């Protein structure tokens, strides 16, 4: 019952669309976590078939696939959640938020640890894919649609395909300010830089043309004086 009360409180804090405790019972993230906790207990006791059976029932009801072997910390929240996939060896820290379409997956058929480790207070935006056995550092943000294939340091913001760090060492923000629409646009930034460089080059070319005209004018003047 303590887990249920904790989940109800956490979901109501993070989703303003929930207006009552009863609504939480219909919330996909809540139902997925109930299935996960039971499946995870069975998995730890090596009842693998039963664990997967319960896990797959949860997938059909919620659209959220959490492998029974995954390790998930407190305060885990999936907003909407359809299409979320979390692999068997994934480790998820505390106060982590995922949006719809997120994948915490592997890159092949290798054995052992093959899924990512997600630190505390991490936010992963809609459609992002984190693939491989590496760590996403605490207090980091992954932008929507990003594909992350390598380790991310703490306090970083990652965007793009493949994902790259565009901000680091931000001050630690309260969880509610980790908005997935508050992310830089590296493509736009590159275009702005190119526009500035083009403007500088154009200005310099115009200056050189003026200088050449002045030189030609002076040469003609000297030729006229010599004659």
- Domain boundary pick from 165, 180, 195: 180
User: What's residue 174's pLDDT?
Assistant: 45
CATH of the domain at 125: 2.160.10.10
Contact 171, 121 (CB under 8 A): no
User: What's residue 188's pLDDT?
Assistant: 72
Asked whether residue 10 falls in the same domain as residue 121, the answer is yes
Asked whether residue 16 falls in the same domain as residue 104, the answer is yes
Domain count, the chain: 2
Contact 85, 70 (CB under 8 A): no
Q: Tally the C-alpha atoms within 13 A of residue 94's C-alpha that lie toward its C-beta.
A: 1
User: What's residue 104's pLDDT?
Assistant: 94
Give me the percent of the chain exceeding a pLDDT of 70.
89
Residues of the chain with pLDDT under 50: 171-178
Asked whether residue 134 falls in the same domain as residue 223, the answer is no
Q: What is the pLDDT of residues 143-183, one digit of tens each?
A: 988 999 989 999 888 888 888 888 777 544 444 444 555 55
Contact 119, 136 (CB under 8 A): yes
CA distances to 192, 197, 208, 224 from 213, rounded to whole Å, are 32, 25, 9, 17
Within 8 A by CB and 6+ apart from 118, the residues are 90, 91, 92, 93, 96, 104, 124, 130, 135, 136
Asked whether residue 91 falls in the same domain as residue 152, the answer is yes
Asked whether residue 67 falls in the same domain as residue 122, the answer is yes
User: What's residue 173's pLDDT?
Assistant: 40
Asked whether residue 57 falls in the same domain as residue 123, the answer is yes
Asked whether residue 151 falls in the same domain as residue 211, the answer is no
Asked whether residue 137 falls in the same domain as residue 170, the answer is yes
SS3 state at 135: strand
Containing domain of residue 86, as a range?
2-180
Using CA atoms, how far apart are residues 171 and 22, in angstroms rounded to an integer?
Answer: 37
Asked whether residue 165 falls in the same domain as residue 222, the answer is no
Asked whether residue 71 falls in the same domain as residue 171, the answer is yes
User: What's residue 17's pLDDT?
Assistant: 78
Q: Which of 85, 114, 115, 112 is nearest to 98 (CA)?
A: 85
Asked whether residue 204 falls in the same domain as residue 172, the answer is no
Asked whether residue 108 falls in the same domain as residue 64, the answer is yes
């Amino acid at each position: 019952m303590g887990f249920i009360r904790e989940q109800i409180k956490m979901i109501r804090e993070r989703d303003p669309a929930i207006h009552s405790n009863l609504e939480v019972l219909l919330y996909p993230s809540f139902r997925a976590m109930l299935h996960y906790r039971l499946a995870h207990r069975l998995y730890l006791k090596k009842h693998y078939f039963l664990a997967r059976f319960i896990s797959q029932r949860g997938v059909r009801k919620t659209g959220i696939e959490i492998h029974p072997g995954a390790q998930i910390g407190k305060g885990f929240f999936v907003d909407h959640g359809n299409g979320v996939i979390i692999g068997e060896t994934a480790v998820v820290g505390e106060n982590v938020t995922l949006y719809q379409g997120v994948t915490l997956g592997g890159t092949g058929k290798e054995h052992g640890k093959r899924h990512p480790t997600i630190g505390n207070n991490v936010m992963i935006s809609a459609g992002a894919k984190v693939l491989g056995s590496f760590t996403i550092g605490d207090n980091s943000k992954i932008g929507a649609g990003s594909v992350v294939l390598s380790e991310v340091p703490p306090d970083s913001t990652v965007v793009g395909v493949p994902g790259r760090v565009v901000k680091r060492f931000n001050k630690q923000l309260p969880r509610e300010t980790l908005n997935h629409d508050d992310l830089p646009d590296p493509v736009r930034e590159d275009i702005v830089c190119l526009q500035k460089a083009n403007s500088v080059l154009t200005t310099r070319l115009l200056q050189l043309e003026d200088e050449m005209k002045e030189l030609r004018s002076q040469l003609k003047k000297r030729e006229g004086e010599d004659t």
